[in-house]
Amino acid sequence: MSEGSKGSSLAFGQVVIGPPGSGKTTYCHGMQEFMGRIGRKVTVVNLDPANDAMPYQCAVDIAELITLPDVMENLKLGPNGGLIYCMEYLEANFDWLQEKLAAFRGHYYLFDCPGQVELYTHHDALKNVFAQLAKWNFRLAAVHLVDSHYCTDPGKFISVLCTSLSTMLHVELPHVNVLSKMDLIEQYGKLAFNLDYYTEVLDLSYLVDHLASDPFFRNYRRLNEKLVEVIEDYSLVSFVPLNVQDKESMRQVMQAVDKANGYSFGDQEHRSLEALMSAAVGADFHFTSTLAVQEKYVQSQDKALEEEAMDL
C-alpha cells in the first residue's frame, strides 16, 4: 500500500460516521457479523479514541496510538478539543495507520469513527485521513448514521438534513445516509408524514407548513424556507432505513454501500447471501424475521387509527 502506487490492489470499505448515540459501533458490529456470514473477510478499524467498549472484534485500534482520556488529562483539554487533537495526531502519524492496515490485505474494512459532528462539517483532519486512504488505493464510502427519532420532530429533521448535506460536501466521499434504530421509531411518537417522505426527502414545503402550525416556529418560517431551498437545490440527501436486527434491512444498506464504493462481490458471496436471506440465522446473532421497516411502521399506524376510530 505504498503511497501513489498504481499497481497496488484495491481495498474497499466504509467509514462509519454520525453524531454521538446514532449507533455507529452497533452498526459496525452488526455489519461485521452480517458480512462474515456471507464469506466476506471484514476488518474493523476503531478510529474513535473515546471508544473503550467495543462489542466487535477490533483488528486495528487507535487506542494503541492515542486515547482521549490521556489527551484530556495531559493537555488539559475538554472532550471536543481532545478529539480534534487526537485526529490531528492520527493525521501526523499516517505511517502507523499504514503499517497496521497492511497486515489485513484483501479484507473489507469498516472504519468506526468518532461522533463529533464538527469533524465532518468543519475540521479537515479526518477528511485528510480519508484522502490519504484513497492514495493507498482504498475505495471508501461514507455511511452517515442519523437516529430515526429526529423524524418525529420536523424542526430537528430539517437540522439533520442540513448536517447531512454539509457532511456530504465536506467529506467528499461517496455517501450513504442511513436512518438508524428503525426498530425503535414507534417509541418516539407519530410521524407527521409517511416514512418514505423522510427517506426520499420529498417536497419539503409540507414540512415547513407543518412547522408553521407551531406558534414557536411560526416566526422562523422564512428561515426554514431558505434552509429547505438550499437542501432541495443540491438534491443530494436521501436516507436508507436501517434496523440492525433485520437481515433484509442490513442487506439493503450493504448493497447501497457496495454500489457507492464500487465493490463487486463474486458468485460465491452471492450464493452465500441468497442462502442467508432464505434461512434462519444462528442464535449467536439474532436477526428478527420482521417485515420491511416501512411496512411494519405503516401497519402499526393503521392499527392505531382503527383503535382511535373505535373509541370515537
Q: Which residues pair with 58 in a beta bridge?
A: 44
Sign, CA dihedral 127-129-132-138, equals negative
Amino acid at 308: E
- pLDDT tens, residue by residue, 11-33: 999 999 999 889 999 999 999 99
What are the φ/ψ torsions at residue 244 (nearest 5 degrees)?
-65, -15
Which pLDDT score, from 0 to 100, does residue 201 have?
85
58-61 and 239-241 strand pairing: unpaired
Amino acid at 57: Q
Which pLDDT score, from 0 to 100, does residue 267 have?
63
CA distances from 290 to 78, 146, 221, 287 (A): 43, 21, 39, 9
Which pLDDT score, from 0 to 100, does residue 2 have?
45
Which pLDDT score, from 0 to 100, does residue 192 have?
79
Contact 120, 167 (CB under 8 A): yes
Which residues of the chain register pLDDT less than 70?
Answer: 1-8, 266-267, 279-312
The SS3 call for residue 59 is: strand
CA distances from 309 to 186, 299, 303 (A): 20, 15, 10
pTM check: above 0.75: yes
Domains in the chain with CATH codes:
11-201+237-297 (3.40.50.300)
**Residues in the chain, total:** 312
From 158, 113, 163, select the one nearest 133 (Cα to Cα). 113
Which pLDDT score, from 0 to 100, does residue 279 have?
61
Radius of gyration of the chain (CA): 21
Residues with Cβ within 8 Å of residue 247, at least 6 apart in sequence: 34, 276, 277, 281, 287
Residues with Cβ within 8 Å of residue 134, at least 6 apart in sequence: 140
- pLDDT tens, residue by residue, 237-264: 999 999 998 899 999 999 999 999 999 7
Which pLDDT score, from 0 to 100, does residue 303 have?
62
Sign, CA dihedral 163-153-257-230, equals negative
